[in-house]
């Protein structure tokens, strides 16, 4: 049986070790899953930001693409004027009075001769000029100077073919040297290598790849009036250059020849407006807005968005500088809206500015430059904390399971050991019962055969044999009664008959019944009854208690010098006490709790020197508990033991 228990324990412990290893491995996988899921959340947030920024830029570019070409001039003639009207109304451009138009800063138009006009050129000519107008005029002048000093030189040889031919064939701008060429939409810096926690997010809205070229027709007189109105408002030097260019285009000072050319022209002109394309201009910045200074540029240079406008054989460039400050604000606003719990962000220019402390780098690629949106964990250690808490819970559960398994195995081993001991005790009990039954039966058989065969001639001897037969029968009856009572108690079928009576009389009757047996063994019994009022008790149970205690005293005190057994009764108010005192060797303290156990024997059955089945004292305890009492052992003086049985007083 122990072998099976060992095998079962090894299997359970091995299974528990395997469960512990699998759980720990699962926690590691859980940690990796949390990191992957969190990285996925960052990627999802980055994609949402990209889509939102793209949507905003698409709307902006659609608005700018649909803007009439006349908005880039400081005067324009409305389209709905009556045909043939001699005095056409001239209106201020809707872009006049401010430099910022959302993401557009400083709208401008480059004339065929290389001149630059803006919607704010003639602010200083207003009669009611305010201080804000003066500031606007100063910034507009700086913006014009920035275009003339940086954009125009950098654009030489870079614009689309037709514009290049017409723009640079007018004599206004000299062709550039090869080394000065700058590719539109490209920076000199290459995108750095991306780490595994970064991803490129293309934002091609400013490339205007989805926008189509607009082609429509405009009344010639409106177009000519627009040209004349804006020419008249130009500074004197620019006006003289443009007049000279117009005369040269017309073929000389012969106005009649120019008039004949006009007569051959149609009443409408075709206006062709191509989509915007970006141009990045490295170099100094002379813009009047401090927010757009080169030191603050996020793309390594000024970004201009230009479009080619062609009206018959007249070619124009219109555009604006990208307002990087507003662009950053738009990106930050989108990022703020889509940030999830525990996330923060930081915007950095250039793909090589990825924050090493960031969790995820979303590289917003505009085609002409990159912005890095560094997404960060507000609490970088939250996954570690989550895993630590998970580990604490897991190992706490494992500890509880291990404790439970240990207690279970310990209980199993204890129960198995108890079962083995109980089995041994039952074997001893069967051996003891067999011995106890055989001895009186053998004596009775022997005496009965001698009397039957008339081998006993003396009447006194016959009377002695009859007495022995009666005593052995009584002994056999007590033994069988003990076994039956124990069996009834174990099955819960023992019934008690509690009746009022004199307990001293019951004790005296039992003593008188046991006295001959005690005298035969060389013992004398003395009673010391105390006055006890009538009480309620089970007479058979009290009889069994006294018989078993006297039998126990006779068996274990047989070697005592004083072979007097004292039976006394008394009361303390709550209990009726029955004491049986002998002067034998006594009972060691370590055995005083064990001797009331079932089948308990002080020595092995094969070597024991006393008779009995190991049930007598166990029944004494059961009967005492049935009377709501108890049993205890007290050392007697000078030697011996006192068995005290307390029965609860019942009235």
Considering only residues 625 and 421, tell me which one the structure prediction assigns the higher pLDDT.
Answer: 625
Could you give the CA distance from residue 332 to residue 205 in angstroms, rounded to a whole number?
17
Average pLDDT over residues 333-354: 84
Task: Categorize the per-residue pLDDT at 612 as very low, low, confident or very high, splitting at 50, 70 and 90.
Answer: low
Assess whether pLDDT exceeds 60 at residue 626: yes
Contacts of 311 (CB under 8 A, 6+ apart): 69, 218, 223, 269, 270, 271, 272
Average pLDDT over residues 574-603: 83
275 secondary structure, DSSP code = P
Assess whether pLDDT exceeds 70 at residue 123: no
> What is the β-pairing status of strands 575-582 and 535-538?
unpaired
DSSP class per residue in 145-207: HHIIIIIHHHHTTTS-HHHHHHHHTSSSSPPPPGGG---TT--SSPPPPPPTTEEEEE--GGG
Give the CATH number of domain 413-648; options: 3.40.50.150, 3.20.20.80, 3.30.565.10, 3.30.1370.60: 3.30.565.10
Contacts of 269 (CB under 8 A, 6+ apart): 217, 218, 219, 220, 223, 311, 312
Average pLDDT over residues 252-275: 65
Q: What is the pLDDT of residue 465?
A: 81
Q: What is the pLDDT of residue 181?
A: 36
Domain residue spans of the chain? 413-648
Cβ–Cβ under 8 Å, residues 372 and 362? yes
Assess whether pLDDT exceeds 90 at residue 248: no
Give whichever of 235-239, 436-440, 485-489, 591-595 has the largest mean pLDDT. Answer: 591-595
Query: In this structure, what token pair is assigned to residue 497?
Result: 């008959």
Residue appearing with tokens 């166990």: 618
Task: Categorize the per-residue pLDDT at 441 as very low, low, confident or very high, splitting at 50, 70 and 90.
Answer: confident
Query: In this structure, what token pair is assigned to residue 356?
Result: 């090493």
DSSP class per residue in 296-309: G-SSSSEEEEEEEE
DSSP SS3 for 113? coil
Q: What is the pLDDT of residue 609?
A: 53
Of 499, 632, 507, 515, the closest CA to residue 569 belongs to 507
Q: If 0-12 CB within 10 Å is exposed, 13-18 middle and 19+ buried, where does residue 174 land?
A: exposed
Q: If 0-12 CB within 10 Å is exposed, 13-18 middle and 19+ buried, where does residue 390 land?
A: middle
Considering only residues 128 and 65, tell me which one the structure prediction assigns the higher pLDDT.
Answer: 65
Average pLDDT over residues 5-22: 84
Task: For residue range 45-102, list pLDDT tens digits in order.
Answer: 999 999 999 999 999 999 999 999 999 988 888 887 777 676 778 888 899 888 898 8
Task: Categorize the per-residue pLDDT at 610 as very low, low, confident or very high, splitting at 50, 70 and 90.
Answer: low
Share of the chain above pLDDT 70, in %: 79
Could you give the CA distance from residue 637 to residue 582 in angstroms, rounded to a whole number?
10
Considering only residues 609 and 148, tell me which one the structure prediction assigns the higher pLDDT.
Answer: 148
Contacts of 479 (CB under 8 A, 6+ apart): 433, 436, 437, 440, 613
Q: What is the pLDDT of residue 436?
A: 65
- Strand order from edge to edge, sheet including 524-528: 524-528, 564-571, 575-582, 641-648, 630-635
Where is average pLDDT lowest: 66-70, 231-235, 446-450, 482-486? 231-235
For residue 46, how far is the Cα from the chain centroid? 24
Could you give the CA distance from residue 285 to residue 292 in angstroms, rounded to a whole number?
8
Where is average pLDDT lowest: 122-136, 305-319, 398-412? 122-136
Q: What is the pLDDT of residue 240?
A: 43
Task: For residue range 454-509, list pLDDT tens digits in order.
Answer: 888 788 888 888 888 887 787 778 778 777 777 777 777 788 888 888 999 999 99
591 secondary structure, DSSP code = G
What is the pTM (predicted TM-score) of this model?
A: 0.57
Assess whether pLDDT exceeds 90 at residue 21: no
Q: What is the pLDDT of residue 315?
A: 92
Could you give the CA distance from residue 453 to residue 62 in angstroms, rounded to a whole number?
139
Q: Which residues pair with 646 in a beta bridge?
A: 577, 630
In whole numbers, what is the pLDDT of the chain averaged over residues? Answer: 79
Q: What angle, 0 to 180 degrees and rounded to 10, lies between the N-to-C axes of helices 459-491 and 616-626? A: 60
CA dihedral 307, 309, 310, 311 (to 10 degrees): 180
Q: What is the pLDDT of residue 294?
A: 42
Average pLDDT over residues 230-238: 56
Q: Which residues pair with 104 in a beta bridge?
A: 101, 322
The runs of H, that is alpha helices, within 453-502 are 459-491
Query: In this structure, what token pair is assigned to residue 107?
Result: 């709208």
């Amino acid at each position: 049986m122990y072998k099976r228990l060992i095998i079962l324990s090894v299997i359970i412990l091995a299974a528990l070790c395997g469960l512990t290893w699998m759980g720990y491995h699962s926690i590691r996988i859980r940690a990796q899953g949390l990191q992957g899921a969190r990285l996925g959340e960052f990627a999802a947030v980055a994609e949402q930001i990209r889509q939102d920024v793209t949507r905003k830029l698409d709307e902006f570019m659609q608005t700018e693409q649909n803007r009439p070409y006349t908005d880039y001039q400081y005067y324009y003639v409305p389209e709905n004027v009556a045909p043939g009207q001699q005095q056409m109304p001239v209106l201020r451009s809707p872009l006049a009075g401010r430099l910022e138009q959302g993401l557009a800063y400083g709208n401008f138009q480059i004339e065929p001769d290389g001149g630059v006009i803006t919607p704010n050129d003639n602010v200083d000519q207003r009669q009611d000029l305010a201080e804000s107008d003066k500031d606007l005029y100063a910034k507009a002048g700086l913006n014009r100077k920035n275009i003339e000093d940086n954009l125009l030189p950098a654009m030489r040889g870079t614009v689309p073919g037709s514009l290049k031919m017409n723009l640079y064939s007018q004599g206004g701008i000299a062709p550039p040297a090869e080394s000065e060429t700058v590719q539109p939409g490209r920076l000199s810096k290459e995108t750095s290598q991306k780490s595994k926690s970064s991803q490129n997010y293309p934002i091609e809205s400013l490339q205007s790849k989805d926008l189509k070229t607009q082609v429509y027709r405009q009344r010639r007189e409106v177009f000519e009036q627009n040209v004349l109105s804006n020419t008249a408002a130009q500074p004197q030097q620019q006006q003289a250059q443009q007049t000279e260019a117009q005369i040269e285009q017309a073929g000389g000072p012969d106005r009649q020849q120019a008039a004949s050319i006009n007569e051959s022209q149609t009443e409408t002109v075709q206006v062709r407006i191509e989509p915007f394309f970006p141009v990045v201009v490295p170099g100094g910045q002379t813009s009047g807005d401090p927010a757009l200074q080169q030191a603050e540029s996020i793309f390594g240079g000024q970004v201009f968005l230009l479009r080619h406008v062609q009206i018959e054989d007249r070619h124009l460039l219109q555009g604006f500088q990208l307002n990087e400050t507003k662009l950053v604000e738009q990106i930050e606003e989108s990022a703020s809206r889509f940030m999830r719990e525990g996330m923060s962000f930081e915007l950095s220019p250039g793909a090589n500015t990825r924050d090493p402390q960031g969790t995820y780098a979303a590289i917003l690629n505009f085609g002409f430059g990159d912005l890095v949106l560094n997404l960060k964990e507000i609490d970088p250690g939250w996954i570690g904390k989550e895993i630590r808490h998970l580990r604490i819970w897991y190992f706490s559960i494992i500890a509880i399971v291990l404790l439970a398994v240990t207690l279970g195995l310990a209980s199993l081993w204890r129960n198995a050991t108890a079962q083995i001991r109980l089995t041994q005790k039952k074997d001893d009990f069967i051996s003891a019962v067999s011995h106890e039954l055989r001895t009186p039966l053998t004596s009775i058989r022997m005496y009965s055969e001698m009397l039957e065969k008339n081998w006993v001639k003396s009447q006194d001897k016959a009377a002695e044999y009859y007495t022995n037969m009666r005593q052995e029968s009584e002994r056999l009856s007590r033994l069988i009664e003990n076994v039956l009572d124990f069996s009834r108690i174990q099955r819960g079928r023992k019934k008690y008959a509690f009746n009022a009576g004199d307990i001293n009389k019951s004790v005296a009757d039992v003593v008188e019944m046991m006295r001959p047996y005690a005298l035969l063994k060389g013992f004398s019994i003395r009673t010391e009854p105390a006055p006890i009022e009538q009480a309620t008790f089970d007479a058979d149970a009290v009889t069994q208690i006294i018989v078993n205690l006297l039998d126990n005293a006779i068996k274990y005190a047989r070697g005592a010098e004083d072979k007097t057994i004292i039976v006394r009764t008394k009361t303390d108010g709550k209990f009726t006490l029955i004491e049986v005192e002998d002067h034998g060797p006594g009972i060691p303290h370590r055995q005083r709790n064990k001797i009331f156990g079932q089948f308990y024997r002080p020595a092995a059955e094969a070597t024991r020197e006393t008779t009995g089945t190991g049930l007598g004292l166990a029944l004494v305890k059961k009967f005492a508990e049935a009377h709501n009492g108890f049993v205890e052992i007290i050392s007697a003086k000078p030697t011996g033991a006192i068995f005290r049985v307390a029965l609860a007083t019942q009235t």
